[in-house]
Amino acid sequence: MDKLDMLYEGKAKKVYSTEDKTYYIMEFKDDATAFNGQKKGTIHDKGIINNRISAFLFELLETNGIRTHFVKLLSDREMLVKAVKILPLEVIVRNIAAGSLAKRLGLEEGTELKRPVLELCYKNDELGDPMINNYHVMALGIAGEEQVKFIEETSLRVNQILRDYFIEKGIILVDFKLEFGIFDGEILLADEISPDTCRFWDAKTGEKLDKDRFRRDLGNVEEAYKEILSRIGKEI
């Protein structure tokens, strides 16, 4: 299937239409941004690595009953996905305090949370993706009551599946961000799941194996992304 028009160019991906209205092609770039675009850079081969990791995790989730937009891998940097309409919502699930939660609540990074925390953010670059609750989601008309409930339950199930999977691979799933889209009236998990959108810590050493290496100038960024790829049994 060939790419037609570019419908969207984000910080890390481009989305193209195809001759079949049912599908989009998603292309993963090496570009990296942090702090809402204030820090910019590239991570060599990130697009290839994130394409593979996302494909693998979407398949893992599908096997466990989660409906996603993923159809198949097309090339090193491209995957075929269902033509979803993305909801302007970022769902963050956290198992351990880190990043903005640690800062906001004055918790030491690494503090184990007594139960997973789910946060909703309004996806809007100009506003810096402000945190909202499910009343805002309904008031803004982003989703209805049943849909929000479904999104929250699905996100927590995704957390359980991914957490159980990664701990077997010696990796702690600290937190992650999900996006959902509507396709044919159905809510599907969409976007990507990768070291760009998750915090992964090595279970033995605590080493950060995700985008925090880029955000915080910790070095060995590409190596960290490759390490996650290798733990899921894949190579570049």
Q: Which of 25, 92, 142, 162 binds ligand C5P (CB under 6 A)?
A: 92
Which positions from 129 through 158 interact with ligand C5P, judged by CB under 6 A? Answer: 129
Handedness of CA 66, 67, 68, 71 (dihedral sign): positive
Stretch that binds ligand C5P, among 1-9, 20-28, 78-86, 173-181 (CB under 6 A): 173-181
- The per-residue DSSP string of 2-44 comes to ----EEEE-SSEEEEE-SSTTEEEEEE-SEEEETTTTEEEE-T
Report the DSSP beta bridge partners of residue 183.
186
Nearer to ligand C5P, 22 or 36 (CB): 36
Number of residues that bind ligand C5P (CB under 6 A): 14
Q: Which of 166, 173, 197, 201 binds ligand C5P (CB under 6 A)?
A: 197
Stretch that binds ligand C5P, among 23-31, 65-73, 105-113, 172-180 (CB under 6 A): 172-180
Which positions from 27 through 86 interact with ligand C5P, judged by CB under 6 A? Answer: none
Stretch that binds ligand C5P, among 45-53, 71-79, 92-100, 149-157 (CB under 6 A): 92-100
**Are the C-beta atoms of residues 17 and 32 closer than 8 Å to each other?**
no
**Are the C-beta atoms of residues 194 and 229 closer than 8 Å to each other?**
no
Q: Which of 28, 52, 80, 90 binds ligand C5P (CB under 6 A)?
A: 90
Distance CA 126, CA 178 (A): 20
Residue 179 sits in the site that holds ligand C5P (CB under 6 A)? no
What Cα–Cα distance (Å) separates residue 74 from each residue in 1, 56, 81, 207? 9, 13, 10, 32
Which positions from 104 through 133 interact with ligand C5P, judged by CB under 6 A? Answer: 129
Handedness of CA 113, 99, 187, 19 (dihedral sign): negative
**Residue (of 70, 96, 73) closest to 163 by Cα position:** 96
Stretch that binds ligand C5P, among 22-30, 90-98, 156-164, 225-233 (CB under 6 A): 90-98
Nearer to ligand C5P, 23 or 189 (CB): 189
Q: Which residues contact 149 (CB under 8 A, 6 or more apart)?
A: none
Residue 176 sits in the site that holds ligand C5P (CB under 6 A)? yes
Residue 175 sits in the site that holds ligand C5P (CB under 6 A)? yes
Give me the residues that bind ligand C5P (CB under 6 A), please. 90, 92, 98-101, 129, 175-177, 197-199, 211
